């Protein structure tokens, strides 16, 4: 079944045509340059740009896939979670397409889409497996028991890993999107230069907490500024990156051991981080576990991952109707 899928949960408008795990076309309109002027995503601007781009991108995706609406089996859309105004653009457009064409409508959870990006890169990957989902606003350890059944085994209690990367990068004066620039700067630094905290959640060994680390780094920078002292940006970036990646890797491996998973995957925007990928691959190899991660271009928001997950949602009979509404928050377990 060929599916036209739409992704508009944040600052990238994306449309794709997929068939099972096969990507026939995938187009993305990024807003990074515009939001960089403000140091972060401005929700109202994001929503307006989605509305301007979505129709043209849909026509382009269909053309690149060499098909029309008559060749499709469903329309899919990211319905939750995300910026509510941005989500509403995609949801309402998808509902309109479904109504006009008679195609079934499939609602997809954004994080389930990120997990499904692995199915594109690794055609042989099947549940069950453990997935570390790390993005700008989410850090979850998820048991993927089937294509549509998930368990949350651990989660952040405050800031997500991506937020910690972005906020510490901003404190260092790095441009938006901060996490990408911090990762690049860290490649030139000494990760042992700064002794940074590794916060733990008492009584919840698989949960994460990054707000304390973020605050500690901001205070390091402020103290240097107040004293007129210089700090090494590459060294501080490398130290931050190692602290975050150590926590992510250690807890993922602990969850794999505790719950008996033999396969471990990464998903989400932060899964493109070079150190995280290296550490996770090494740790899995040492523990004799199979490791999976999406190709870097699939780590960020895209509609191909939405279409692939929609295929499995449709196979499970999970269809939406014209009462579908977007939601800013929703658990991955709920779908």
Q: Which domains, ranges and CATH numbers included, belong to the chain?
A: 2-115+298-315 (3.30.420.40), 126-296 (3.30.420.40)
pLDDT of residue 137: 87
* pLDDT per position as a tens digit, 33-74: 889 888 889 999 999 999 999 999 999 999 999 999 999 999
By residue count, the chain amounts to: 335
Measured distance CA(310)–CA(112) in Å, rounded: 9
pLDDT of residue 23: 98
Burial class for 203, CB neighbours closer than 10 Å (0-12, 13-18, 19+): exposed
Mapping DSSP to helix (H, G, I), strand (E, B) and coil, where does residue 180 land? helix
For the cut 90, the answer to whether the pLDDT of residue 205 exceeds it is: yes
For the cut 90, the answer to whether the pLDDT of residue 7 exceeds it is: yes
Q: What is the mean pLDDT of residues 232-244?
A: 97
For the cut 90, the answer to whether the pLDDT of residue 100 exceeds it is: yes
Query: Is the backbone peptide bond immediately before 128 cis, with ω within 30 degrees of 0?
Result: yes
Per DSSP, the residues of 267-282 read: ESGGGG-HHHHHHHHH
What percent of the chain stands above pLDDT 70? 100
* pLDDT per position as a tens digit, 137-174: 899 999 999 999 999 999 999 999 999 999 999 999 99
Query: In the predicted model, what is the mean pLDDT of the chain?
Result: 96
Structure tokens at 187: 């490649």
Give the predicted TM-score (pTM) of the model.
0.95
Query: What is the side-by-side strand order in the sheet with 263-267?
Result: 149-155, 139-146, 129-134, 263-267, 290-292
Handedness of CA 142, 143, 144, 149 (dihedral sign): negative
* pLDDT per position as a tens digit, 280-304: 999 999 999 999 999 999 999 999 9
Give the helix, strand, coil percentages of the chain, each rounded to 5: 45, 20, 35
* pLDDT per position as a tens digit, 244-264: 999 999 999 999 999 999 999
What percent of the chain stands above pLDDT 90? 93
Contacting residues for 197 by C-beta, under 8 A, at least 6 apart:
212, 213, 216, 243
* pLDDT per position as a tens digit, 271-282: 999 999 999 999
């Amino acid at each position: 079944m060929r599916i036209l899928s739409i992704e508009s949960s944040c600052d990238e408008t994306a449309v794709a045509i997929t068939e099972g795990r096969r990507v026939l076309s995938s187009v993305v309109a990024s807003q990074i340059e515009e939001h960089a002027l403000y140091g972060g995503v401005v929700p109202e601007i994001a929503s307006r740009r989605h509305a301007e781009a979505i129709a043209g991108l849909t026509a382009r995706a269909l053309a690149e896939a060499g098909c029309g609406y008559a060749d499709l089996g469903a329309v899919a859309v990211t319905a939750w979670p995300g910026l509510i105004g941005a989500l509403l653009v995609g949801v309402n457009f998808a509902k309109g397409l479904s109504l006009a064409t008679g195609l079934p409508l499939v609602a997809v959870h954004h994080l389930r889409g990120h997990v499904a990006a692995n199915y594109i890169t690794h055609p042989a990957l099947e549940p069950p497996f453990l997935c570390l989902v790390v993005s700008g606003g989410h850090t979850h350890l998820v048991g993927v028991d089937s294509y549509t059944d998930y368990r949350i085994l651990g989660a952040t209690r405050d800031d997500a890993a991506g937020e910690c990367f972005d906020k510490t990068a901003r404190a260092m004066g790095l441009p938006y999107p901060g996490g990408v620039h911090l990762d690049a700067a860290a490649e030139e630094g000494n990760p042992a230069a700064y002794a940074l905290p590794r916060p733990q959640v008492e009584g919840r060994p698989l949960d994460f907490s990054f707000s304390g680390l973020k605050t500690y780094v901001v205070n390091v920078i402020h103290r240097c500024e107040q004293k007129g002292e210089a700090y090494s940006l590459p060294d501080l970036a490398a130290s931050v990156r190692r602290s975050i990646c150590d926590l992510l890797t250690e807890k993922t491996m602990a969850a794999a051991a505790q719950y008996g998973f033999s396969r471990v995957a990464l998903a989400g925007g932060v899964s493109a981080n070079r150190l995280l990928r290296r550490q996770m691959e090494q740790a899995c190899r040492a523990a004799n576990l199979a490791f999976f991660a999406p190709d870097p271009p699939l780590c960020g928001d895209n509609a191909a991952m939405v279409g692939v997950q929609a295929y499995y949602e449709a196979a499970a009979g999970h269809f939406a109707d014209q009462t579908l509404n977007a939601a800013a928050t929703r658990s991955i377990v709920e779908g």
